[in-house]
Structure 1
Amino acid sequence: MTLLHSILENVKNSEGEAFVYDEKAIEEAIENRNNEKSNIAIKVLSVFGGFMAALAFLGFLFVLGIYDSASAMLVMGMLFLAGAIALNKFFDRIIIDTFSISVYGIGLALVIFGMADMGMDEDVITLVVIGIAIISLLIAQTYMLSFLSVVTIAVGVMVLIFSNDSYNLLHAYVFVYTLALACCFLGEGWFLATNKKLAKLYGPIRIGLIISLLMGLIALGKRDLVPEAHGYIWLSSLPIALCILYLVYDIIGVLGITQTRTKVLIYALSVAVLVPTILAPSIAGAILILLLSFRVNYKTGMVIGIVALVYFVSQYYYDLNFTLLTKSIILLCSGVAFLFFYLFISKKTNP
């Protein structure tokens, strides 16, 4: 009897005869997921090789003079995109999957260059690219292309914000992606159980949302990049802090903590950790990613969250327009709050 069969039988015994399952389909899904994780190196090498081959082909097109015609670039780019989507749609092999990503990227570049040569407005070009990414996400539901599409949409939104000098909209960007990421993590069961196609897209959408949120947080962390947005920097900190507090509430319920005094202490420590991040939403965002990943045991997200937290703390220390003493006091207080939080959790989990 396999471990999976034993787990499914235990669930069936607890849920009753109404609980039905397809063990073979579950085993295939687990195997496919493990293959995606174990073939990362092969995918990276395949993308590199495919990219080099595509560049050689573009060189051939350059010799033919395709870059002298905006229409030719646009048509060729659309053909590249259609070919990449078709390969991802009808073939489920690693080499073809990763090669098609390179073809997709080059096709997207040709479309952008073609529209730019035609004198189209920058915002229109960006909206077209976002539209292509959305269509790609809906049609070709493979891991790498779906991830690339999610990130492309986020990049397109960022380009619209910066090209129109609407830096304060970065707060709206962070709000939307914070909410989307929290819903994605906390609603994992719903996403996986509702629809087979949605379940297949869940993995790439999740990591894509993490990267998309980090892009907004990095932009907010650069004072010289978006100076106007820093006048209302707390606007980005507020939704992140609320999500973290809700996550703390959720974890308290999972751990079965019922004592009012203990709950109050946990919330007090949480607020003590979050208060110093009011002027640094990037740090709070990294903490949110880390906690969400810990909540669902998503190891990749935890690694990204730790790296992001280290980077944003360093950025916070060097970029803030405070004196060295003030910054040191703020970081010291944050560190003390973290230590108290750690000691409290350790005491509760190891009585």
Structure 2
Amino acid sequence: MEHMKQLEQIMDAIRTIEGDGFQYDEAAILSEYGEKKGKNSSVVIKVLSIFGGLLTTLAFVVFLFILGIYDSEWGMLLLGIALAAVAVVIDRTYNSFILDTFSVCFYVLGVILFAFGLASLEVNEDFVALLVILMALGSLTITQNYVISFISIITIGAAMLFLIMSYNIPDAIHGYLLLYTVLLAFCFLNEAKLLTSSRKLAQLNGPLRIGLVFCLLFGLVAVGKNGLAPISGSYIWISSVASIGLILYLADKLLKRFGIVGQKKVLMLVLCVFTLLPTLFAPAISGALLIVLLSFLINYKTGFAIGIIALIYFVIQYYYDLSLTLLTKSIILFSSGVVFLVFYFFFTQMTKTDEEV
């Protein structure tokens, strides 16, 4: 009730600022807010519901195994399609968290059975990956369930990476990273437009953000862990170009937000360039840093936490993979730390000066 009163006060304030010409459907806004609040049950109930749904799905898998469904290729294929369809129907027909849990479990099991059924029929694995991508895209257009949409988005990213490795073109991962870097930046920087463009996009905004973050991390892991993908070292810098460019663009926006302009801003941007230069051949670090800055810019706490964890991991991984002596590694880390401390010193001093003025 208290949150509802706060929402009404916010709408009254907006109406006062915008004037009499501002129109909105107050009843629809309050109704939508009430539905979302109703879905936000306690964490214990959510955990128990998800755990119960997973146990039920596991029991169903055991039952299928007893029936021998895994001995029938067409049986797995048709059952996978049926389960995915049932999951979509449940999501669109009923508005219950428990039923949503079952729909998610059915959807995941359906996609797995669909893929295994096609593989058992000796369908080309590349064609299977393409069909899984089409299935995930179809699910995104039909249902707006948060978890199903999230699973569909990361399934598309994983399938794309599978196709890249299947066709033995590992350097195409650079194109994958460029695609998802641009998509992530576009989604984050145009959040307001996406939320107001249509109701469907507004509902997909949440899973789209977190899904794109994970898809980008998939690619960053591929280039960030030495030996995981046979990528040519001569072109590793390609994956860093888009990230570094976007980081500098975000740095410019953030400096304006903190009131730093003129020569001070130019000096800060130059320091940013020198700070980012070492990451030119470490695209995983610049990519994780981009996630942190984008999440900070729009106050997306989940993405910010994921970006910080990824940044720490990729820095440690890069240090571990360096083919240098321990003394040389220590000097590199020491020098990097000094650069960041200098950057921090200049930034805090400039912001303090602006605040005093």
TM-score, length-normalised on structure 1?
0.92
**SS of match in other structure, 1:168:** helix
1:191 is aligned, of 179, 190, 194, to 194
C-alpha displacement at 1:65, in angstroms? 2.1
Match of 1:104 in 2: 107
Matched, 1:232 2:235: yes
Match of 2:274 in 1: 272
Q: Would you say the 8 A contact 1:247–1:292 is kept in 2?
A: yes
Q: Would you say the 8 A contact 1:276–1:330 is kept in 2?
A: no
The aligned amino acid for 1:304 is I
Q: Would you say the 8 A contact 2:223–2:231 is kept in 1?
A: no
Match of 1:308 in 2: 310
The aligned amino acid for 1:340 is V
C-alpha displacement at 1:151, in angstroms? 0.6
Q: Which segment drifts farther, 305-314 or 49-58?
A: 49-58
**SS of match in other structure, 2:281:** coil
**SS of match in other structure, 1:228:** coil
Matched, 1:136 2:139: yes
Q: Would you say the 8 A contact 1:220–1:229 is kept in 2?
A: no
2:282 and 2:39 map into 1 onto residues whose CA distance is 35
The aligned amino acid for 1:197 is K
1:13 and 1:291 map into 2 onto residues whose CA distance is 34
For 1:237-316, list aligned pairs within 5 A.
Answer: 237-258=240-261, 260-316=262-318
> Structure 1 residues 67, 3: closer, same or farther in 2, change over 3 A?
closer
Q: Which segment drifts farther, 30-39 or 84-93?
A: 30-39
C-alpha displacement at 1:161, in angstroms? 1.1
Q: Would you say the 8 A contact 2:258–2:351 is kept in 1?
A: no
The aligned amino acid for 1:262 is K
Match of 1:207 in 2: 210
2:273 and 2:206 map into 1 onto residues whose CA distance is 31
> Structure 1 residues 127, 155: closer, same or farther in 2, change over 3 A?
same
> Structure 1 residues 129, 11: closer, same or farther in 2, change over 3 A?
same
C-alpha displacement at 1:56, in angstroms? 1.6
> Structure 1 residues 301, 30: closer, same or farther in 2, change over 3 A?
farther
The aligned amino acid for 2:311 is L
For 1:25-104, list aligned pairs within 5 A.
Answer: 25-30=28-33, 42-104=45-107
> Structure 1 residues 63, 147: closer, same or farther in 2, change over 3 A?
same
Matched, 1:22 2:5: no
C-alpha displacement at 1:347, in angstroms? 3.2
Q: Which segment drifts farther, 82-91 or 325-334?
A: 325-334
C-alpha displacement at 1:349, in angstroms? 4.1
Q: Which segment drifts farther, 38-47 or 9-18?
A: 38-47
**SS of match in other structure, 1:217:** helix
- Corresponding pairs, count: 350
Matched, 1:147 2:150: yes
Query: Identity over aligned residues, as a percent?
Result: 47
> Structure 1 residues 160, 246: closer, same or farther in 2, change over 3 A?
same
**SS of match in other structure, 1:278:** helix
